[in-house]
Structure 1
Amino acid sequence: MSQLTHGTLLKDENRSHLADRGAKSKMHHIPLTRIQKLICKRMLESKLTKPCFYLEAKADITELMAMRPKLRKAFGVRITTNAFYIHALALAAQEYPLTVGRLDGDCIKIAERLNVGFAVNAPQGLVVPVVKDADKKSLPDVAREETLLTDKARDNRLTLQEIEGETIALSNLGAYGIDSFIGIVPPPTSTIVAVGNVIHTVVPTDGKITERKIVSLSVAADRRVVNEIYAARFLGSIKEHLQNPQREIQRSKMKYQN
Structure 2
Amino acid sequence: MATDVKVPALGESITEGTLAQWLKKSGDTVAADEPIASLETDKVTVDVPSPIAGVLTETVAKEGDTVEVGAIIARINESGSATPAEQGADSSPTNPSGAGESPQPRGSEEAPDAEPAAPAPATAEPAEAPAPAGASADQDGITTLSPAVRRAVLEHHVDPTKIRGTGKDGRITKDDVLAAAKSKETSREAAPAPSPEPEPAQQPKAQAKAAVAGERREERVKMSRLRQTIAKRLKDAQDTAALLTTFNDVDMSAVIDARERYKDLFAKKHGIKLGFMSFFVKAVALAARDVPSVNASIEGDEIVYHDYLDVSIAVSAPKGLVVPVVRSADAMSFAEIELAIAEYGKRAKEGTLGIEDMQGGTFTISNGGVFGSLMSTPIINPPQSAVLGMHRIEDRPVAVDGQVVIRPMMYLALTYDHRLVDGREAVTFLVRIKEAIEDPTRLLIDL
TM-score bracket, normalised by the shorter chain, equals 0.7 to 0.9
Deviation at 1:221, TM superposition (A): 0.7
Please say if 1:142 is aligned against 2:340.
no
- Match for residue 242 of structure 1 among 437, 444, 447: 437
- Equivalent residues in 2 for 1:101-116, closer than 5 Å: 101-116=296-311
State the TM-score, normalized to the length of structure 2.
0.48
Tell me the residue number matched to 1:84. Answer: 279
Deviation at 1:75, TM superposition (A): 3.0
- CA spacing shift, 1:230–1:168, aligned 2, 3 Å: same
Tell me the residue number matched to 1:75. Answer: 266
Please say if 1:42 is aligned against 2:233.
yes
Tell me the residue number matched to 2:222. Answer: 31
Contact (CA 8 Å) 2:255, 2:276: kept in 1 or not? Answer: no
Q: Distance in 2 between matches of 1:91 and 1:162?
A: 24
Contact (CA 8 Å) 1:184, 1:220: kept in 2 or not? Answer: yes
- What SS does the corresponding residue of 1:217 show, helix, strand or coil? strand
1:11-47 deviation digits (Å, cap 9, x = unpaired): xxxxxxxxxxxxxx88421211111111111111100
Deviation at 1:210, TM superposition (A): 3.1
* 1:40 maps to amino acid: A
Q: Give % identity.
A: 27
Q: Distance in 1 between matches of 2:426 and 2:350?
A: 35
Tell me the residue number matched to 2:414. Answer: 219
1:72-112 deviation digits (Å, cap 9, x = unpaired): 23433312222322222222123321112112222211135
Please say if 1:190 is aligned against 2:190.
no
Tell me the residue number matched to 2:360. Answer: 165
Q: Distance in 1 between matches of 2:218 and 2:243?
A: 35
1:142-162 deviation digits (Å, cap 9, x = unpaired): 111111111111121212222
- What SS does the corresponding residue of 1:170 show, helix, strand or coil? strand
Whichever structure has more helix as a proportion of its residues is 1
Count how many residue pairs are aligned between Structure 1 and Structure 2: 227
Q: Distance in 2 between matches of 1:221 and 1:203?
A: 28
Q: Which has the higher contact order (CA 8 A, sep 6+)?
A: 1
- Which segments of 5 or more consecutive residues in structure 1 lack a partner in the other structure? 1-24, 253-258
Compare 100-109 and 68-77 and name the one that shifted more. 68-77
- Match for residue 94 of structure 1 among 289, 293, 301: 289
- What SS does the corresponding residue of 1:117 show, helix, strand or coil? strand
- CA spacing shift, 1:69–1:103, aligned 2, 3 Å: same
Q: RMSD of the alignment, in Å? A: 2.0
Contact (CA 8 Å) 2:298, 2:383: kept in 1 or not? Answer: no
Q: Distance in 2 between matches of 1:181 and 1:79?
A: 25
Q: Distance in 1 between matches of 2:361 and 2:241?
A: 17
Deviation at 1:206, TM superposition (A): 4.4
Please say if 1:131 is aligned against 2:326.
yes
Contact (CA 8 Å) 1:138, 1:251: kept in 2 or not? Answer: no
Q: Distance in 1 between matches of 2:274 and 2:301?
A: 42
- CA spacing shift, 1:230–1:79, aligned 2, 3 Å: same
